[in-house]
Structure 1
């Protein structure tokens, strides 16, 4: 028998405030048509005043617990992937742990920007395979609206706020690609590319920063690296693209999503797309898409899924799992 980290619950939460592209026309030299054409985004959600990343994460966590039929103390660990935690410390994950009323286990954050959920999934998988935890809740949650330069039309129209949560449980498998759960992981980073996507401030420099991005450079790296990491993860899992039911990509830009699918030889009928409704929610985008995909009836038990992401660092990676 082979131990696997299998998905047993999923949930998401989006703030109430919906911001259509037309709202940006009032303050920026942009248009709904321009934003849609370049990103595929039509609207996004912004957190309310006083609503924090841990608030969004907690709501998504409760929905995932409900989906799994579990209570908080059934969970051994919480990992929150975020670049926009409420405070420098403690972690957003411990805040979620407290709000849920979870009195056992441990909680911590992972920061790999848009690739954060992939890194967090990999960490949760390792905890389960090592026997350190039986059930791990993995959450991606962001309030990127708090780090936007509202005068920069090339970035501020792209991002949104939200949270998604996944619960993984240790289950026995046969050691084949037919097993439920995480089948393979592929992770990478390259710090030489910091300047193409970063926030120009932080605690150590005692400055308040905003997101800065060289869009063309990010696009150039994204399609190539995402296709390569997805292929490597599939090779490790012993599967081929024609066996994949769904690609669930980081929802950054529809052109990156379609370009990656094309490189993998898969048509868009096999891709879960939510970018039009959520914008780029960074580490939250993959769990949001997984939860929405299940809610829509797209993702079903037994489906083979490839999920991949790239973010500032650069950091990127992919996970193959069977739902």
Structure 2
């Protein structure tokens, strides 16, 4: 008798988008400083216009004052369980990717005790002690890394169902006097990955991860406010945007090509590229460079759905939110069909890059 093949299939997804919509005009009255503590003399209107031109961000979401990251993760998890019509008691693992834990609006000390995954499991009311809940801090690629870990559990037979959540609250950890704060936002996305037996491989086909820490570990760090008059030494998220951009456009495309080769599919087979929503210009550049590695310049229209224009960069949450938007029919002219190949990818703090190829059942 032929051995049945185990595939890791997404059976449900969910998201939480904060209710507070922040348009670019919000930043017109802010005081911005450079890394040396000098007040920027360029008019805020010009700063905002340049930001929108490069990133394409028009607005973003900020978390409601009475909520925290674990609340967003819980709402996304509840949505995923509902859409899959699955009892949370049947989950073998709950993996929550994030970087800063729960943060109060007026006290931005990071809180990860207990873990966010433990808080989500508690909020869901799951009694099963063998539903293992743990956190995964891995920069912006955290959710994709969680999917890779979940796939290992399913392929080994250790689990039948795993929920992977990406949730982040960047608005409270970013320096209001740093122009990079205009990029960041809040949100959460979740999927449920399930083991399925069949005659052929579907779902998650191949993956890749790399960590370039020797020369690039500190492109994203924590540091004091750029405002020299800030009352204390509170540490905010800081980004070396130029160096990060250079690293990403040089390194991501070859890594994605390697992932496609591991899946043994050609780039022309791809129907969707879901990439971390960090910077629209950077994402388009990465896609162009990926196609050039195949000596191709014509990129199919609609290959790469985007959400950064309305939602900004909410770190680990961007890719699962984008997936759920497409699944739920909220991205015009984008849908997943049986037999489609999708490439999921991310790059971020570490510096880390990862990706996986997914065949929709």
Report the TM-score when normalising by structure 1: 0.93
Q: Name the structure with the higher helix share.
A: 1
Q: Which residue of 2 aligns with 1:230?
A: 256
Across the two proteins, how many residue pairs are aligned to each other? 314
- Secondary structure of residue in 2 paired with 1:239: coil
Q: Distance in 2 between matches of 1:267 and 1:26?
A: 41
Residue pair 1:58, 1:100 contacting (<8 A) in 2 also: yes
How far apart are the structure 2 equivalents of 1:112 and 1:248? 18
Select which of 44, 55, 60 maps to 1:30. 44
The equivalences for 1:292-303 within 5 A come to 292-296=325-329, 298-302=334-338, 303=340
1:152 is aligned to 2:204: no
In the alignment, structure 1 segments of 5+ residues that lack a partner are 202-206
User: For 1:213-224, what aligned pairs fall within 5 Å after superposition?
Assistant: 213-224=239-250
Whole-Å separation in 1 of the counterparts to 2:303 and 2:261:
19
Q: State the match for 1:287 in structure 2.
A: 320
Greater alpha carbon shift after TM alignment, 156-165 vs 87-96: 87-96
Listed as ranges, the matches of 1:258-273 within 5 Å are: 258-265=284-291, 266-273=299-306
Bigger radius of gyration among the two: 2
Counterpart among 10, 15, 20 of residue 17 in structure 1: 20
**Are 1:200 and 2:223 counterparts?**
yes
Name the TM-score, length of structure 2 as normaliser.
0.84
Instruction: Name the CA shift for 1:237/1:173 in 2 (closer, same or farther; >3 Å).
Output: farther
CA drift at 1:195:
2.2
Q: Deviations over 1:85-114 (max 9, x none)?
A: 122322101100010111121110111111
Structure 2 residue 119 is the aligned partner of structure 1 residue 95: yes
Aligned-partner Cα distance in 1 for 2:279–2:44: 17
Distance 2:209 2:198 in 1: 23
1:307 aligns with one of 312, 328, 344: 344
* Cα deviation, residue 275, structure 1: 0.6
Is this contact kept in 2: 1:84–1:143, CA < 8 A? yes
- Match runs of 1:1-323 below 5 Å: 1-28=4-31, 29-31=43-45, 32-86=48-102, 87-104=111-128, 105-153=131-179, 155-175=180-200, 179-192=201-214, 193-200=216-223, 208-265=234-291, 266-296=299-329, 298-302=334-338, 303-323=340-360
**Post-superposition shift, 1:208?**
4.0
How big is the shift at 1:196?
Answer: 1.5
Distance 2:315 2:301 in 1: 21
Root-mean-square deviation over aligned CA pairs: 1.5
Q: Which moved more, 1:93-102 or 1:256-265?
A: 256-265
Q: Which runs of 5+ in 2 are unaligned?
A: 32-42, 103-110, 225-232, 292-298
Distance in 1, matches of 2:157 and 2:245, equals 39
Does the aligned pair in 2 maintain the 1:12–1:59 contact within 8 Å? yes
Tell me if the contact between 1:143 and 1:160 (Cα under 8 Å) persists in the aligned partners: yes
Instruction: Give the whole-Å Cα distance in 1 for the aligned partners of 2:19 and 2:159.
Output: 34
Query: What is the SS of the residue equivalent to 1:44?
Result: strand
C-alpha deviation, 1:264, in angstroms: 2.2
Superposed structure 1 runs of 4+ greater than 3 Å apart: none
Contact 1:149 1:211 in 2 (8 A): yes
SS at match of 1:146: coil
Q: Please give the alpha-carbon distance, in whole angstroms, between the structure 1 residues aligned to 2:301 and 2:117.
A: 34
